Each structure stands twice: as C-alpha cells, then as structure tokens.
Structure 1
C-alpha cells in the first residue's frame, strides 16, 4: 500500500522481453533503497512492482502480461521517466490517500496549461472509470495522489502546484501522453456495498 506522495523520479534503463513478460530495469536516482529487500514493493508510475533484483543504482522487476495489458508500461521505452514510492510502513505519514498500486485504467492527457504558478492538467479517463471520479475527490495519476477540481463526463481537471511539477514526471506530459489511473479505493467498496445481497450473483 502507498500514499501517492512521490519520493523520487527514476528512469527506465532496460526492458528485457521474456516470453510475453518483461523484466524491467529502473535507475532509482535519489530513492533510498538501503532498507529495500528482494520481494518488497515499489510503486513505479503508480504500478505496484515487486523488486526481483537490487542494483547499485536501482532495481529490476518482472511485469506480467496482465499488467502490460492494463497499464502504460507497454508504451515505456529506455529513457522513460517514472515516479517512485516505496511501500508504506507502520510509521509512515499518510500525506496523500490510500493507494494500492493496482492501476484501474489508462488515461490520456488532453492538455496541460499554465495557471498562475501552477498548471491545469486535463485528462480523459476510460468511460468505465468516470463514475468513480468526483469533484474534490482523490485520484492517482502515475502514482501521484491528486485532488480532482472539475469533472465533465469522462474528463477531469487537476491543479498541479510547482512542487509537484518539480518532483514528479508530470512536467514532461504533453497532449496525448498516456497515464496510469487508480481511482479512490473507497469508491469501489461503496459501489460493491450498495449491491447488497445481490453482490454474490454479480
């Protein structure tokens, strides 16, 4: 589990195709890996990945065909910048919201325009996710916990403050960029609870 507060940015340095799966190598830059062990989880652009190998400057993870099919990982290449966050510990401050690292769908950046010292980011979500996105609610974009300012159908707007632009990969977005989206897990549980007894047949 994560908070959506990005700790560092990294870079894809290798993608090794292995029978339909991918072994991914990430240069972790300033992320502190001193307490990371094999099998630990690191959110990589919002995708919860298991550390399969530790390197001097980063880590390697295996990405399944399922993950490739539902995230933007399949469009990554050597040099792709990624947001990084280590998994929560019991004494971690929860500065964002509860994030599982389970991507719900891929969104597309519509535009990123300046708004005073911040930027206005507009994203189009898959239609099936629109019902989970609420004004002033939380959403995770490439592993970054953000607040939704406005919703219009399947499109939503976010205000990106200077600190977030500087410390995540959002500043490199442009129209057409694909991003990993994870909706607030509470919305999914509420939907399921509202089904009541009929949930067993759904």
Structure 2
C-alpha cells in the first residue's frame, strides 16, 4: 500500500528481458534504500513491484535496486517502454506512522493515459490526458486519481479524458515534469469510486435495470 506521494525520481540503469520477464535495475540515493528487505514492495511509476536484489553505494553515492517485471505488468503499464537513463517515480510502501499526504494507493494499474496537450505557465501546468472511454466512469471532477504513482486531483472532465493542474513542486519532484505530448502515464483510479460504481452496476444488472 502507498500514499501517492512520490519520494524521488530514480534513474533506469538497465533493462533486460528473458522470456516473458523484464529485469529492471534502478539507481537512487542510499537514503531511499536503507533498511530495505528483499521482497519489499516499491511503487515504480505507480506499479507495485517486488525487490529481488539491492546494493547500497559506498558512503553517500547512489545504490541500485533490482526488480523482475512480468508480462501482465508490461502489457498494462508503461514500464515496458523504459530505457536506460530515463527517470521513474519512486515511493516505498507505507509503514506504521506514515503520514497519508495523498490517498490510499494499491499500486495496481488499471490503464494507461496519453498526454494530449501541455500548457505551461509560471506557477501552473495544465495537462490533458486521454484514456479509454470505459475508465471515464470511475473518474470524478475534484476526485482522486493516481498518475504514474502521484496522488492528484482530477480537473475538468471531457468526453475522452481529463485535465490535471500541476504545481511546480510536483513537476520538480516527479517525472510528470518531463512529459511531452504523446507520453503515456500509468493510471490507477480511486479504489472507493471503482468499488461503488461496480457494485451499483452489478445490482442494476441483477434487477434488469
């Protein structure tokens, strides 16, 4: 479980594939790897991945963390597009006493959205994201959404997508500030909204409504 508050941007060291599994190696400062356990969960671009190996760097230099990414994750997310040198959003899982600054995030990606437009101003950046129509019913104006692992508030909704309004801090700390038109973001809709919509639809279907 995560909060959607990205801790840092990690760098892709290498990407290699064996069969249906991709080995992803990231580098990040030691501070984000201290007291890490093999098998721990880390959100990478919003995807809950399991640590299979890690190594701390000497003194204050960066360490490395390794993940195995299976074919189902590659099919549903943007992780299969990663290349050496790219930046990914990194958040370790919630621990007891963690401040929930965003909202509860599972790390299970529902779909991918595409950046259709970017409007940058001095203190604001508006992005319009398009996504498959079937997922729009789970997105509400001013509701929560997780974009590449970032807990954000939904802006205006249109028939094929929605707006995000991003402050400079979000653009600096996360990889959303590196986006270009055509970039793809991992999307996790708010789980409470998803559950309510699915429950109501099943009930109405059972009643023939």
TM-score (norm 2): 0.91
Per-residue Cα deviation, 1:36-94 (whole angstroms, up to 9, x for no partner): 10000000010100000012212000000000000001111111210000001121010
What root-mean-square deviation, in Å, do the aligned CA atoms of Structure 1 and Structure 2 show? 1.5
Aligned to 1:87: 93
The answer (yes or no) to whether the contact 1:109–1:176 under 8 Å persists in 2 is yes
The answer for the alignment partner of 2:18 in structure 1 is 18
Report the counterpart of residue 185 of structure 1 in structure 2. Answer: 191
Q: 1:158 aligns with which of 160, 164, 187?
A: 164
1:28 aligns with 2:34: no
Change (3 A) 1:110 1:30: farther
Aligned counterpart, 1:9: 9
How far 1:33 moved relative to its partner? 1.2
Distance in 2 between the 1:28 and 1:189 partners?
A: 35
Whole-angstrom CA distance in 2 between matches of 1:29 and 1:22: 23
Give SS of 1:95's match. Answer: coil
Report whether the alignment pairs 1:100 with 2:109: no
Q: Deviations over 1:141-192 (max 9, x none)?
A: 1000110111001310011001111111111101000110110011111123
Say which one has the larger Rg: 2
Q: State the match for 1:113 in structure 2.
A: 119
| Equivalence for 1:168 | 174
- Matched-pair contact (CA < 8 Å) for 2:24–2:67: yes
Aligned length: 199
Q: Which runs of 5+ in 1 are unaligned?
A: none
Gaps of 5+ in 2: 57-62
SS at match of 2:137: helix
Task: Tell me if the contact between 1:111 and 1:121 (Cα under 8 Å) persists in the aligned partners.
Answer: yes
Deviation, structure 1 residue 16:
1.6
> Contact conserved, 1:129 with 1:154, CA < 8 A, in 2?
no
Structure 2 counterpart of 1:132, from 123, 131, 138: 138
Q: Residues 114 and 193 of structure 1: is their aligned pair in 2 closer, same or farther, counting only changes over 3 Å?
A: same
Structure 1 stretches of at least 4 aligned residues deviating more than 3 Å after TM superposition = 196-199
How big is the shift at 1:137?
0.5
